Amino acid sequence: MKVWIVSDGEPLPVDGENTRLRRMGNLANYLSDKGHTVTWFAKTFDHHKKKQRADKDVKISVRPNYTLNLSYVEGYKKNVSIGRLLSRYKTAERINSKFFETEKPDIIIATMAHVDLTNYACEYGLKYDVPVVVDVRDLWPAFIGDMVKPIMRKILIPYIKYHELKLSKMMKKAYAIIGLSDYFLEYGLKYAKRARKTEDTVIPIGYPNYDYTNFRGRINGYWNGLNDNDFIIACTGTFSQQFDYSSVIEASRLLEGQDDIKFVLCGTGVQFDSIKNRVGANVIMPGWVEKEQISSLLINSKVGLIPYIDGINYRGNTPNKFGEYLSANLPILVSVTGSMEKLLKENKCGYFYSNGKDLAEKILDYRNNSQKQRADSKNSRTLYERMFNGDKVTVELADYLLKTAKTYKK
């Protein structure tokens, strides 16, 4: 079967040996391994590393039946900028032109994060009678209000309303909708202005079932300033405006006197310099980190930290970080109420924290009670296997797409 993936922004298999692939990357590998033909449309500019993968349009054969079709688009330096907005529009236009140069697929999966690009995919599907499944992975544009100061929210109302109209027009053209959760699926259906049908489904974000064995007990081989006796709190996020590090900064300063407690905050983003100047001396901020170093960090840490803004985009969501930490047996401390908080509480593998003092107290509770930390660690892995094992989730997603394509033909 021929499958198109229309998704821009995820790491690609050409980004280096240690690249951690995500939802679409793992799906593409699985489908091509099973003999299906996969074409993944994306742009040349690497959003995460802010560099070009190529200086022109290029087709890259990952394997004989798996092709990356990359359109050249100029880059940008900041995630929130006019440059990025222009890049999104150009990406949609240029990738759309590639659709008509490529053999017609049996099904298309497109991520909702890029509405203009996904709209073009949906229009192609309607024109050429191809089912298009939209994967709802964030609550654009509803979450915009959570990322700006209150004074800006009223100013942005016309902008949000405009994009709500665009989203609704796009969702009405989709054949089916996938949501990361029931809440996300209902969000997509609301803008599609229809009831749920058989082909609409919920498939959470899974995380690959990596073998961490070779990294256990080897933290000082990959990290300067850390050793096996440290009580490490890991955060493998970014420093974008979707994260709130104020409580982390406060907790790091409150815990500076605890010599064995170390925070490792990985990633890049607009808040990086500001946060680096405010955290305690017990915080390591290495910037962008590749897969092997991340693996060594996670398996040797004691707690995983998820400091998102407590906003609509994350309350009904279990993002990639959640499954990642569970896969490495880490209890999780999360700043968001809702789905993650509920799962942690029900499965006894972490807590919600409300402020820096609360976060510091919960870290100390784990540090001072090793039996509890080990029990919650075991519970984390149990939850991972039950709901977030990426290998199982990828199979579920692939089987769903293949079944949807077959039933559509009938």
Dump pLDDT digits (tens) for 347-401: 999 999 999 999 999 999 999 999 999 999 999 999 999 999 999 999 999 999 9
Q: 146-165: per-residue pLDDT in tens?
A: 777 778 888 888 988 999 99
Global model pTM greater than 0.75: yes
Which CATH superfamily includes the segment(s) 2-206+390-409?
Glycogen Phosphorylase B; (3.40.50.2000)
- Domains 2-206+390-409 and 213-388 in one fold: yes
In the CATH hierarchy, which top-level class contains the domain 213-388?
alpha beta
pLDDT tens for 94-152 read 999 999 999 999 999 999 878 999 999 999 999 999 999 999 998 988 888 777 777 88
For residue range 238-273, list pLDDT tens digits in order: 998 889 999 999 999 999 999 999 999 999 988 999
* Beta-carbon count within 10 A of 268 CB: 18
**Domain boundaries in the chain?**
2-206+390-409, 213-388
Q: What share of the chain is helix, strand, coil (3-state, %, to 5)?
A: 45, 20, 35
How much is the pLDDT for 410? 64
- Measure the CA–CA gap between 282 and 253, rounded to whole angstroms: 8
To which H or E segment does residue 398 belong?
helix 390-409
CA–CA dist 129, 380 (Å, integer): 44
Full 3-state SS string of 64-119: CCEEEEEECCCCCCCCCCHHHHHHHHHHHHHHHHHHCCCCCCCEEEEECCCHHHHH
Contact by Cβ (8 Å): 28, 5:
yes
Cis peptide before 141 (omega within 30 of 0): yes
Please tell me the distance from the alpha carbon of residue 312 to that of residue 338, in angstroms, as a whole number: 9
Residue 18 pLDDT class (50, 70, 90 cuts): confident
Angstrom distance (rounded) from CA 300 to CA 282: 17
